[in-house]
Chains A and B, each alone.
Chain A
Amino acid sequence: MKPLAYAALALLLSALEAALLAQLGGGVPLCLAAVLVAHLAVEAAMVEGVVGAAAIGYVLDLVTGSPKGLMTFLAVAAFLLARAVAAAVDLRGRTAFALLAGAVVLGVDAGAIGLARLVGPPDARPGWGLLSRALAEAVVTGLAAPLLRAALRRLDGWLGADAPELMG
């Protein structure tokens, strides 16, 4: 239930981001779906967290127009890494969570750029210069992350949150 709810929320947030960017302009993109992955890494149980991250990745594959599987792979990888970090460091504070969400965005973007350079068509390989845009996206998303997290905790309450557990 929770993975489906998070996938639906990722779809809703992606549509809202696209619409707000179109109406308000600006040019700095957001990736609020990455905040969902970070939240799952900190708060969810392993099985529903990893399935939720994959579902969010599938949604990102669709809305960003990436080749199928790219964002799904990166979202699951980001979830596992963030979960490993969360097991070692307390990430329940607002600042720590904002940093984690920013790191997830940066990791997913850098991974997408790196993989597209390795595997993608040669004449459409992205330049590393795109990392500056990824950094801007990570900063803006990190700033928005604590606000979204408050709403996510409420959503978890409705869905019946499970206690977090360690990897493996």
Chain B
Amino acid sequence: MLQLIRRYRELVLAAVLLVFPFAVYVAHARQPPARSALDRAVLLVTAPIERAVGAAVTGILEVWDGYLALRGARARAERLVRENRRLELERQQLGVERAENERLRRLLGIAAAGSERRYVGARVVGIRIGPAGLQILTIDRGSGDGLARAMPVVTADGLVGRIHSTTGGTADVLLVVDRNSSVAVRVERTRVRADVRGLGRPELARLDYALRVEDVIEGDRLVTSGTDAVFPPGIPVGRVTHLRRGSHGLFVEAEVIPAVDPTRVEEVLVVTSGARPEDALPPVPGAEPVP
């Protein structure tokens, strides 16, 4: 027997390296495993490379912007000053409305303790959007900066995703468009509830569980509802497109154009305030358990 194995050792090795990983995959496909210490150590190597490439490209772009592309800078500056004045006026107006809103909330007795959101800013250092794996952004802030799994990640345009895993200095963000991602939303116009489910494509997601009898039309803006206890309410998620209302069935079929194009995101904000119960999180293959 031993002689037979020795004789065909190459084939035996190939068979072992084929069967063992497959068995591991089948065992783990539905039960998200935690990353081992070895996995974390290997992944630590990637962060400095991604940061270095980011710094190099940013440096080149800054040189370009600072020294070579100054033509039209004066006109641009004047336009920005005008826009800044307008935004300042809008900010003051919003401040007044916010104070009024807070007063009314207190009057109604629904002011939640600590309703102010706290954010940590981060720069995107890596994007992985291959069709075979998860749709992930890597950011240059990690558990050392107070980030933890499931924290929502946003930009000024809307929802990007949630923290999937962290190391000391970086974190992976599972994008809204990943097929393991599901976000509870409302149609902003009519307050109809639904879910946005990723398809694994950066440019498109799917609208789930919007009842056929409800008022949803193409172009409707979707915002987080907050009912999943993961994302705070009111953050733009996307717009409804390709809506099909069949003659039968409970739900409409529709697609969603995400509010944020993940391939163009440079900086993000991580919402660090707000507690998320562990059982509110759907399992994601390869994800770490909530601390």
Contact = CB atoms under 8 A, between A and B. Distances in A.
B17 A19 contact: no
Nearest to A30: B130
A159 B281 CA distance: 47
A118 to B, nearest CB: 9
Contacts of B263: 21, 25-27
Interface residues of A, number: 66
Contacts of A127: 199-200
B285 A66 contact: yes
A93 to B, nearest CB: 26
Contacts of B26: 69, 119
A contact face: mostly helix, strand, loop, or mixed: helix
Interface string B125-161: 1111111111011100000000000000000000000
A65 interface: yes
Interface string A98-112: 000000000011001
Given A18-B127, A57-B21, A109-B130, A67 B285 contact: yes
Interface in A69-100: 69-74, 76-77, 80
B226 interface: no
Contacts of A125: 179
A15 B126 contact: yes
B241 to A, nearest CB: 15
A72 B13 CA distance: 14
B119 interface: no
Interface stretch (B43-51, B110-118, B185-193): B43-51
B124 A69 contact: no
A129 B201 contact: yes
A148 interface: no
Interface of B: 8-11, 13-14, 17-18, 20-30, 32-33, 35, 39, 42-43, 45-47, 49-54, 57-58, 124-134, 136-138, 164, 172, 179-180, 182, 197, 199-203, 263-264, 266, 283, 285-286
Interface of A: 11-12, 14-27, 29, 31, 46-47, 50-51, 53-54, 57, 59-74, 76-77, 80, 108-109, 112-113, 115-116, 119-121, 123-127, 129-131, 133-134, 137, 167-168
